[in-house]
Amino acid sequence: MAPGRAAGGKKIKKMPDINEIAKVCSTCGNCLYSCPVYNAELEEPNSPRGKVNLIKSLMDGRLETNRLNKKFIYQCLLCGSCTDTCPKGVEFVDMMVKYRNLISSGKKIPLLKKLILIFYQSFLFRKFIPVVDLLAKTPLRKKLSLPIRRKTKLKKLLTPAKKGGSYDILLFPGCVLTYFYPVLIEKIVEFLKGRGFSVVVPKNLQCCGFPYISQGWQKKFSALKKKNRKIFSAFNFKYLLVPCSTGLLAFDNYYGFGHTVEKYELTEFIYKFAKDAPVKLEIPGEKKSKITYHDPCHDLKLLKIEKEPRFFMKQLGDDFVDDKSALCCGFGGIFSAGFPATAEKILARKEAVLEEIGAGTVVTSCPGCYFRLRENLSRDVKFFIELFPAARGGDGVPSL
Ligand code: SF4
Ligand code: SF4
């Protein structure tokens, strides 16, 4: 392939930053042992360094995109663990997202992933949810990692864009909470209102689009972004609250808000506004063992949110045990569907750490991690907001 042409024979239009990012890598290998995929598969092309080298070779034409190379490009959770440990500051996640978009335009996404992405945004998915509820009551629940949903009053909470209005907070709950754990959205709203904030949860919000842009489907992402931005623009609000660090990354990096919108992840928002007010924490249910906090990768490694959840977790005293491993759960959006064997190995490593530190209860603040841990581990898994009694009990919001 001639230099200056992207893999697949497409002319490179204007993406010089991928080369620039890749050039920074000194191939030191510091990132290898922080990478969950490398630790699971133990092969160089599945290490961050291997992938940087692969992208360089594909960009300058020394290698062609073939099935195997494409697999390595997609066999990455975009977790950011490598970026976090890289002494040269290689912006790996951004580079990978840009590269996938450069080579793909939606056409080179692995077929299974593409089918999942199409299904996910179709009306069929909404129709499929009651089927999930039925299947979750059968022995297939464990095999398919299906969530048990509770009936909620979520629909009553949603405000149509045409109503508009001014609020302190616009809550963007994200897909996993909306479709699988809507009761947690109620709890978040309940807590925030109890703290005196006015909150709007707009109706008809779309997926943040990260699953699309991260797989290289720029066009689909742009369509979702346009719809979400239109809905946002119908409301006046001071804070955009996103209880999902991946969604927050999408808004930070790809929505072009600049500094016009003050955006927060859930633990950092509660830390900002509740840290000086006494908050009594409780773990719902019977305490059987130690309680730990699972750091969502995008929180810890890219948004650098670490002290905020610990500020609250430490209030649990000796019941709290800190999981300092920073290990990924293996969810990675649709990564766990595309590479189930690798995802299993990643989760097994996490579970071994939980066993070692004696944590029978795991608290997390990422809906994806919550889904992955709750539906796959035989441990008690809680969403961060459930720690706060104001979001439970006596408020009409049932516990999960
Ligand atoms: S740590 Fe950074 S510089 Fe070193 S090999 Fe990994 S990506 Fe390259
Ligand atoms: S983003 Fe995560 S999975 Fe991908 S190469 Fe880096 S550490 Fe590995």
Which of 46, 82, 96 should be mutated for ligand 1, with most atoms under 8 A from CB?
Answer: 82
Which of 20, 28, 55 should be mutated for ligand 1, with most atoms under 8 A from CB?
Answer: 28
Percent of the chain at pLDDT > 90 equals 47
pTM summary value: 0.85
Which long-range CB contacts under 8 A does 126-135 form with residues at least 24 apart?
129/179
Burial of 359 (0-12, 13-18, 19+ CB in 10 A): buried
What residue type is assigned to position 55 of the chain?
A: I
For residue 204, is pLDDT > 50?
A: yes
Measured from the Cβ of residue 242, the count of other Cβ atoms closer than 10 Å reads 24
The single residue listed with the structure tokens 């045990």 is 321
Are 323 and 294 within 8 A, CB to CB?
yes
**Euclidean distance between CA atoms 106 and 220, whole angstroms:** 8
Which of 76, 84, 334 should be mutated for ligand 2, with most atoms under 8 A from CB?
Answer: 76
Burial of 302 (0-12, 13-18, 19+ CB in 10 A): buried
Quick: pLDDT tens for 315-352: 888 999 999 999 999 998 888 888 999 999 999 999 99
Å from CA of 112 to ligand 2 middle: 21
Half-sphere exposure of 154 (CA within 13 A, CB side): 23
228 token code pair:
């979400």
Q: How confident is the model at residue 286 (pLDDT cuts 50, 70, 90)?
A: low
The single residue listed with the structure tokens 């970026």 is 83
* Smallest CA separation from ligand 2 atom 5, residue: 48
**22 phi and psi angles, rounded to 5 deg:** -65, -35
Ligand positioned closest to the Cα atom of 25: 1
145-155 in b/e form (b: 16+ CB < 10 A) is ebbebeebebe
Q: Show the ligand 2 pocket: residues with CB < 6 angstroms.
A: 34-37, 48, 51, 76-82, 92-93
pLDDT at 9: 32
Angle between helices 92-104 and 67-74 (to 10 degrees): 140
Taking alpha carbons only, the member of 177, 226, 222 closest to residue 201 is 177
**Euclidean distance between CA atoms 393 and 397, whole angstroms:** 7
Are 200 and 159 within 8 A, CB to CB?
yes
**Euclidean distance between CA atoms 144 and 165, whole angstroms:** 41
Atom of ligand 2 nearest to the CA of 78: 1
Ligand positioned closest to the Cα atom of 97: 2
Measured from the Cβ of residue 323, the count of other Cβ atoms closer than 10 Å reads 18
Quick: pLDDT tens for 142-168: 666 666 666 677 778 899 999 999 999
Atom of ligand 2 nearest to the CA of 332: 3
**Euclidean distance between CA atoms 59 and 22, whole angstroms:** 10
235 token code pair:
């409301």
Average pLDDT over residues 105-117: 63
Quick: pLDDT tens for 53-96: 999 888 888 888 888 988 899 999 999 999 999 999 888 998 89
**Euclidean distance between CA atoms 235 and 171, whole angstroms:** 11
Quick: pLDDT tens for 349-363: 999 999 999 999 999
**Euclidean distance between CA atoms 370 and 372, whole angstroms:** 6
| List of residues 6+ apart from 396 with CB closer than 8 A | none
Three-state SS at 240: strand
* Smallest CA separation from ligand 2 atom 6, residue: 82
Atom of ligand 1 nearest to the CA of 26: 3
Quick: pLDDT tens for 360-386: 999 999 999 999 998 889 899 999 998
**Euclidean distance between CA atoms 71 and 66, whole angstroms:** 9
| List of residues 6+ apart from 217 with CB closer than 8 A | 101, 104, 105, 106, 109, 117
Structural domains in the chain?
7-104 (1.10.1060.10), 120-274 (no CATH), 290-391 (3.40.50.1860)
* Smallest CA separation from ligand 2 atom 4, residue: 76
Å from CA of 36 to ligand 2 middle: 7
What residue type is assigned to position 244 of the chain?
A: C
Ligand positioned closest to the Cα atom of 33: 2
Which of 71, 77, 91, 345 should be mutated for ligand 2, with most atoms under 8 A from CB?
Answer: 77
Ligand positioned closest to the Cα atom of 342: 2
Ligand positioned closest to the Cα atom of 89: 1
Q: How far is CA 231 from the centre of its chain?
A: 22
